[in-house]
Structure formats: structure tokens, C-alpha cells
């Protein structure tokens, strides 16, 4: 008894750990041959390091067990070279566990996934943890870890996901992290990291898809090699730091789909307009006082030349003129001085007036953009105030993935869901997440448009979903919303993106879709101009058109309601890992109209068949008769979708976007293609050079596909084929092309 009391109360913590290990080995030596495995011993040591387990999350972890494979949060699998099952995953999420992370986890050489996010762990990250060289996923966000990120992380050459956001890590980012060449997601946001961004991230991490270093204390310039991250799909977020210097022109080489955020730094100079940088709005560059140029309203100042009215002779008094005509009397000198003073006064007055105008415009602009800034972060639905546990010492405000509106969030200062509780309703049996897990998950902006923001949300299981945020109104139309969502969810097809769930609250509406990995057809066609070798092949283009046609034909024929998609364009065609097409946002316009803040003025406006108002880029895909009917309450036709699909065919074949063609020539895209065909221009003048070699081998399939596009875009709706016939034509074309 005395020894136990002395061991528990009088020993140094390190000696206490040694004492525990000695007792543990003595106990294991006295057990039968069927003793707890090495992985089990490491997990028991991990448990002993904990200070508190308020929810008894580890109550099933017992030293007397023969195997840890039945313990809560533990997953075992068979691995090569082992006759027993090994622990490959440890997942204890949001259970309020506190204490330090045990170095014993580093002995689990088969561990591939470590998920301990949303707990109360504290202290430094043990360097021994990175002895578990099989680790592929480390999720430690939303804890209290402190100290540096150990340079031993370089041992994890197979690491794919590292998320330690919302902690208190300090010190610099180790340069050895560039040796983790298989990293796809690197999120170190909202810590206290200092120093500069390591050189070599862009050169070595070719697989990186998400990079978020926001809300730290990083200094120095932005490495130019970040422009080499050609695999980025979600975000490059360096906001809320102390970065300085110019924006590297090489960032324009990033894919167009990347959501860039460089705001709230000390960057300076003119914003480059190269590549994808030229398509950015002002949001990514805000709160950098020394940045100027488009898209900001700050004009870049150029040094003015000397005033031309100053006489050259007076500027060089050491060279007097011998001519009497150059002698100046008092009256002439006074006249010249008054002239210069007047000019200077006018210049100062103009500058002052211009400064007042610019200050007023900047104030008005900042007020109008305030709400947009709050949702521009790729780590949040709404910009929330820092949570209580991160308010002290945070480098920037913590941004939580929450379904609360901006207004209510700022008014209350707490991440509640609004005045009325919301409801998360699953529409597919594969979606098993609850509301709490969804709201606390890490989120990254995939795209922004007039129809809302789309996020990639990584759930606790590691599975990503796509979440679209809708409006904040329409509270009186909840039943109508539910009926439409149920109808949309019943449209199931391999080439249609699946609607998994929805969330309804008085101040927030969310749609949860399955996540499609390889972006949009738009980015596949136009986002890789810096990498010609990545251009879609002829076969891939045919396969994508075939899948999109099948999905649209199913939408048209699956229900007596004669569904209409209403917004077919390349940005609504998502690409799967095998280059298969998935139609996105079916039924979205109806749901947006229901969730709009202002209810319709009459029943006709509330009808499913209301023609939505769309963006200018979307109008370039619309049938002529639909544009004439825009804003009315007539019934949309499936032939409108057929026309839009014909535009997609032309875009896939030409490699040119309708908007770019309109901007460069002022000629409608479809009219330009028709003119080229009618004038028998060479295919090389309007066909994508990436597929030009197909003309020498298979000219007939290309000609057939052009004819199909012409039929789909016929000015007469009755002359356009049904999508079922389009599918059959492409199927025949696929057979002839192989």
C-alpha cells in the first residue's frame, strides 16, 4: 500500500511512467501465452496518459483483453507479414478527452489513420509519434496542442492528409515537411506558427490538393514555387498572416478551380493578371494596404514628371545667358512665380479632391463587400467569432463550419443554429452523419456563384461530401421544399450526382451531395492551359459526352413530370476518377426559388415551371426561345436542355468556352461554329488542337459529332432530337471510334 501511494503521489511524472511500464511488463510476463498484442499495450499506455475521459469513450479498453480489435474507436485489419490482426485505425472524435498524446502510439507500425479531432488534448506533439511510418491520415484539429511541429514528420513518406488546425502550435513549419511528397491535404490553420513558408512545397508536393496555412503569424514572401501545385482543387489559403512582398506571377499557373485567399497580410505592389489570377474577384486580396490594381479599387500610383511650366534657365543659374532678351526684371519674375504657385495650388487641390472621392468609394465598397468577405473563407460556411477556447492568443479569428447565418452569428457571438432549431434529413442510406458531425467538420470552398457557395466537407469518417448553401428565407414554404427535395432524390442514375441529405432551418438551408473528385468539365477543358499534356483525349471527350447524355436522358424520361434540368453547361458536368460524367444541380433552381428571402407574388411564380433568371455565362448556353421567355411563367421545355447540350458538344470539340469566344470576336458561339461549317472552313481553324490528330485517323466520327451538335442547336425546337436519340447516336459513335 505504501509503495502504491508513493508511486502515485511522490514520483516525478517521467518516473511514474517508467514505474507504470515496469508494472505493465511484470503483469504481461505473468499472463498466459495469449496476452495482449503490442498494439493493445500501446493503446493502454495511450489511455493511461489521459487526464480525463468524461464520456467514458474508452470504457471498453481493458488490459485483460486478448485483442484490442473489439475496443471502441479501434479498427483492425490483416496486414502482410503478420499472423495476427493489426490496429490500422484509431478514431476518437469529439468525446471531450483531455491529456497528453502518448509517445507509445509511435510503436503501432501498422497504424494508417489517427483521428483525435475535436477533443481537449494538450501539450506538444511527441516526436516518437512519427515512428508510425504507415500513417496516411492524421486528424488532430480542434484541440490544444502546443509547441512546434516536429521535423521527424519527414519519416511519414506515405502521409496523405495532415490536419492540425485550430490548436496552439508554435515555431516555424519544418522544412522537412516537403519530404512528405504524397500529401494531398495540408491544413495548419489557426495556430501560432511563425517564420516563413518553406521553400520547396510547390516543387515536391505534386499531389497536394488543399493547402491552408491561414490565421498564423507567418512572415516573409510567398514562395514562387507554389504556382507549381498543379493538383490543387480546393483552396490555397494564406490569409490572416504577416506575409509581405509582391504576389508571385507564378500563382497564375494554378488551376482555375482553386479558391485563392491572400487577404489580411502585408502584401504590396500591383496584383498580377496572369492566368487564373486574372479571374479572381477582390475578396482574395482584401486588407493588404499596399496592394493595388484590378480587381481592387486602389489605383497603382506612378511617379509624376516635373512640372513643365518651370523655366529651364532658372533651374541652372550657373549658366547665365549673354542675350539681353533673357534678362528678367522684377515684374517678369513676379509673374513667373505666381504662375508656378497657381499650378502647384491647382495640383494640390485636385489631389485633395481626388483623395476624398477615393476614400468615399473605398468606404462604400468595403461596406458593400462586408458580408461577402465573411463567407469567402475556404474553411467556413460563415465567418464566426472565435470559440471561447481559442480566443486567447489566436492569430486570426477562428472560422467554424457552421450553418448559422452571418447576421445571427455576429449578433449572438455563439455558433448556434439560429432562432429555431434546424433538421438534417438523410435521403440516402449511405449518409449516416448527424448534424453535430456535419457542423464541426472541416470545410473548403469549391466554388462561388450567384446561386450560393459550394463546400467540400470532410466528415469524421474521412469521407467527403459537397454541401451547397442556399438562401435564408422561404420559411413559410418548408413543406414545399421538402416535397421537391424528396422528388429530386428519387432521380437516381450513375451519371447524375446523388442528393444525400438536406438541412432546413429558419435562417439556413443546405443541400448535401455526394462528392465527385475530379472537378468540372469546364476545368478539364480550359483549366489546364499550362499543361497541354493533360488535355482530354478524343476517347475521354466522347466518354464524358456519352455519360452526360445518358444522365440528361434519364432526367427527361424517368418521371411523368417530364423533368427539365434547366441549366446544362460544362460547369454542371462533374468528372469522376474514370473520366465518367456526372450531371450536377438537377432541380436546384426550384429549390433556390423556394429558399429565397422574398416569397413569390403569386402562385404562378411558385410553380415548378417558373423560368429562373440566370447569369450571363449561363445565358450563352440557353436556347433562343428560352431567352425570349425569360422572366415569364411559361413552361420550360426539354428541348431547351437539348439545345444546351449541343452547345456543350461544340465546346468539347473546339476547346473554347462560349464566353471567351463572345469576348474575343463579339460573335455568338453557336453562330460562329455554324458559320465555320457552312463556309467549309478547315477543321483545324475551330477544332481543339489537342484532338486534331484524330482528323488524320478518324475524320468521320468528328464530322458525325459536329452534325449532332448542329441538330441539337437547331433554331427550331421541333427539329431538335430527343436526348434518348442523342444517346443512341453517341453510343454508335463510341463503337466506331474504338
Domain boundaries, the chain: 195-301, 352-515, 519-585+609-738
CB atoms within 10 A of CB 5: 9
Strand residues in 464-606 grouped as ranges (E):
464-469, 499-505, 508-514, 573-575, 581-583
Joined together, the cell numbers standing for residue 593 give 426559388
Residue 119 pLDDT level (bands cut at 50, 70, 90): very high
pLDDT score of 164 more than 70:
yes
Mean pLDDT, residues 101-109:
93
Give me the residues paired with residue 442 across strands.
Answer: 458
Q: How far apart are CA 515 and CA 458, in angstroms?
A: 10
Q: In whole angstroms, how far apart are CA 278 and each of 254, 260, 266, 293, 328?
A: 11, 12, 20, 11, 56
pLDDT score of 657 more than 70:
yes
Q: How far apart are CA 511 and CA 395, in angstroms?
A: 32
Find where cell 440528361 sits.
Answer: 552
pLDDT score of 410 more than 60:
no
Give me the residues paired with residue 258 across strands.
Answer: none
Q: Which CATH class is domain 352-515?
A: alpha beta
CATH number listed for the domain at residues 195-301: 3.80.10.10
pLDDT score of 204 more than 60:
yes
> Contact at 8 Å (CB) between 378 and 235?
yes
Question: Higher-confidence residue: 42 or 284?
Answer: 42
Q: In whole angstroms, how far apart are CA 263 and each of 150, 241, 244?
A: 28, 9, 11
Give me the residues paired with residue 581 across strands.
Answer: 575
Question: Higher-confidence residue: 519 or 149?
Answer: 149
Joined together, the cell numbers standing for residue 657 give 468556352
352-515 and 519-585+609-738 share one fold: no
Question: Which run of H or E residues covers position 594?
Answer: helix 588-595
Residue 647's pLDDT is: 95
pLDDT tens per residue across span 135-160: 999 999 999 999 999 999 999 999 99
Which one of 54-63, 321-330, 554-563, 728-737 scores highest in mean pLDDT?
54-63
Query: Cis bond leading into 257, ω under 30°?
Result: no
Q: What is the largest CA-CA distance in the chain?
A: 122
DSSP 436-483: HHHHHSEEEEEEEETTEEEEEEE-TTS-EEEEEE--S--GGGHHHHHH
Joined together, the cell numbers standing for residue 48 give 493511461
Helix (H, G, I), strand (E, B) or coil at 291: strand
pLDDT score of 685 more than 50:
yes
Residue 43's pLDDT is: 94
Name the CATH topology of 519-585+609-738: Transferase(Phosphotransferase); domain 1 (1.10.510)
Amino acid at each position: 500500500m505504501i509503495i502504491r501511494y508513493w508511486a502515485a503521489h511522490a514520483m516525478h511524472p517521467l518516473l511514474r511512467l517508467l514505474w507504470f511500464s515496469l508494472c505493465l511488463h511484470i503483469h504481461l510476463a505473468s499472463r498466459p501465452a495469449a496476452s495482449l498484442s503490442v498494439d493493445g499495450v500501446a493503446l493502454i499506455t495511450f489511455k493511461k496518459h489521459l487526464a480525463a475521459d468524461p464520456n467514458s469513450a474508452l470504457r471498453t479498453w481493458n488490459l485483460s483483453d486478448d485483442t484490442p480489435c473489439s475496443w471502441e474507436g479501434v479498427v483492425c485489419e490483416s496486414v502482410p507479414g503478420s499472423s495476427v490482426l493489426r490496429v490500422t485505425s484509431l478514431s476518437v472524435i469529439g468525446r471531450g478527452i483531455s491529456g497528453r498524446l502518448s509517445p507509445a502510439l509511435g510503436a503501432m507500425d501498422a497504424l494508417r489513420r489517427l483521428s483525435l479531432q475535436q477533443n481537449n488534448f494538450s501539450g506538444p506533439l511527441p516526436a516518437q509519434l512519427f515512428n508510425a511510418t504507415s500513417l496516411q491520415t492524421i486528424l488532430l484539429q480542434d484541440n490544444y496542442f502546443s509547441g512546434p511541429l516536429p521535423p521527424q514528420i519527414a519519416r511519414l513518406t506515405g502521409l496523405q492528409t495532415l490536419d492540425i488546425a485550430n490548436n496552439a502550435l508554435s515555431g516555424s513549419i519544418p522544412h522537412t515537411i516537403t519530404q512528405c511528397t504524397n500529401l494531398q491535404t495540408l491544413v495548419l490553420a489557426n495556430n501560432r506558427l511563425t517564420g516563413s513558408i518553406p521553400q520547396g512545397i510547390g516543387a515536391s508536393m505534386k499531389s497536394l490538393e488543399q493547402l491552408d496555412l491561414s490565421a498564423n503569424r507567418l512572415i516573409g514572401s510567398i514562395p514562387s514555387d507554389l504556382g507549381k501545385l498543379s493538383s490543387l482543387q480546393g483552396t490555397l489559403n494564406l490569409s490572416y498572416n504577416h506575409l509581405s512582398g509582391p504576389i508571385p506571377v507564378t500563382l497564375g499557373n494554378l488551376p482555375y478551380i482553386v479558391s485563392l485567399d491572400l487577404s489580411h497580410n502585408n502584401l504590396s505592389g500591383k496584383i498580377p493578371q496572369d492566368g487564373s489570377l486574372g479571374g479572381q474577384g477582390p475578396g482574395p486580396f482584401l486588407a493588404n494596404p499596399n496592394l493595388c490594381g484590378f480587381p481592387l479599387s486602389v489605383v497603382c500610383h506612378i511617379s509624376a514628371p516635373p512640372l513643365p511650366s518651370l523655366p529651364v534657365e532658372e533651374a541652372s543659374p550657373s549658366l547665365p545667358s549673354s542675350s539681353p532678351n533673357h534678362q528678367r526684371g522684377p515684374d517678369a519674375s513676379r509673374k513667373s512665380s505666381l504662375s508656378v504657385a497657381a499650378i502647384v495650388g491647382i495640383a494640390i487641390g485636385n489631389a485633395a479632391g481626388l483623395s476624398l472621392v477615393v476614400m468615399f468609394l473605398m468606404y462604400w465598397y468595403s461596406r458593400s463587400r462586408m458580408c461577402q468577405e465573411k463567407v469567402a473563407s475556404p474553411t467556413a460556411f460563415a465567418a464566426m467569432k472565435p470559440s471561447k477556447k481559442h480566443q486567447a492568443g489566436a492569430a486570426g479569428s477562428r472560422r467554424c463550419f457552421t450553418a448559422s447565418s452571418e447576421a445571427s452569428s455576429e449578433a449572438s457571438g455563439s455558433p448556434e443554429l439560429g432562432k429555431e432549431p434546424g433538421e438534417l434529413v438523410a435521403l440516402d442510406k449511405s449518409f449516416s452523419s448527424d448534424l453535430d458531425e456535419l457542423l464541426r467538420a472541416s470545410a473548403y470552398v469549391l466554388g462561388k456563384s450567384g446561386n450560393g457557395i459550394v463546400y467540400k466537407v470532410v466528415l469524421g469518417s474521412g469521407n467527403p461530401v459537397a454541401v451547397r448553401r442556399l438562401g435564408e428565407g422561404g420559411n413559410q414554404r418548408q413543406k414545399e421544399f421538402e416535397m421537391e427535395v424528396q422528388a429530386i432524390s428519387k432521380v437516381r442514375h450513375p451519371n447524375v450526382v446523388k442528393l444525400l441529405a438536406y438541412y432546413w432551418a429558419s435562417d439556413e438551408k443546405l443541400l448535401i451531395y455526394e462528392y465527385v473528385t475530379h472537378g468540372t468539365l469546364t476545368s478539364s477543358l480550359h483549366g489546364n492551359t499550362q499543361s497541354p499534356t493533360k488535355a482530354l483525349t478524343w476517347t475521354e471527350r466522347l466518354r464524358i459526352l456519352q455519360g452526360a447524355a445518358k444522365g440528361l436522358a434519364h432526367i427527361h424520361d424517368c418521371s411523368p413530370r417530364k423533368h427539365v434540368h434547366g441549366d446544362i453547361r460544362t460547369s454542371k458536368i462533374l468528372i469522376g476518377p474514370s473520366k465518367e460524367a456526372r450531371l450536377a444541380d438537377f432541380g436546384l433552381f426550384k429549390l433556390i426559388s423556394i429558399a429565397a428571402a422574398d416569397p413569390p407574388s403569386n402562385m404562378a411564380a411558385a410553380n415548378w415551371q417558373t423560368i429562373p433568371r440566370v447569369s450571363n455565362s449561363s445565358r450563352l448556353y440557353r436556347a433562343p426561345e428560352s431567352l425570349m421567355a425569360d422572366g415569364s411563367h411559361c413552361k420550360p421545355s426539354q428541348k431547351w436542355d437539348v439545345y444546351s447540350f449541343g452547345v456543350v458538344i461544340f465546346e468539347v470539340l473546339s476547346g473554347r468556352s462560349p464566353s471567351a469566344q463572345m469576348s474575343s470576336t463579339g460573335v455568338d458561339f453557336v453562330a460562329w461554329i455554324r458559320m465555320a461549317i457552312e463556309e467549309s472552313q478547315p477543321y483545324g481553324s475551330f477544332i481543339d488542337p489537342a484532338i486534331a490528330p484524330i482528323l488524320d485517323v478518324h475524320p468521320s466520327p468528328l464530322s458525325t459529332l459536329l452534325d449532332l451538335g448542329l441538330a441539337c442547336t437547331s433554331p427550331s425546337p421541333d427539329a431538335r432530337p430527343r436526348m434518348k436519340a442523342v444517346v443512341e447516336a453517341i453510343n454508335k459513335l463510341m463503337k466506331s471510334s474504338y
